[in-house]
Amino acid sequence: MYPAAEVERAIAACGRSEQRSRLLPARLVLYFVLGLALFSPDPYLEVMRKMTFGLRQVG
């Protein structure tokens, strides 16, 4: 997994930090897009399930 600090820096470098509080912060959206690439045969909901399972394991 990419460290949160690195992801935040990448988002800021692209000028895409969130302006409002959303259900999925920009960092989690980035992780979701990476998950879609890694698990491309899987449907979106399955990728989200895998992502949330992994995030729970990390804490």
Q: pTM value? A: 0.69
**Cα 11 to Cα 28: distance, rounded to the nearest angstrom:** 11
Burial class (CB in 10 A: 0-12, 13-18, 19+), 26: middle
24 half-sphere exposure, CB direction, 13 A CA radius: 11
Q: What is the pLDDT of residues 16-42, one digit of tens each?
A: 777 777 777 888 888 899 899 999 999
Give residues with Cβ within 8 angstroms of 7, minimum separation 6: 27, 30, 31
User: What is the average pLDDT score of the chain?
Assistant: 85
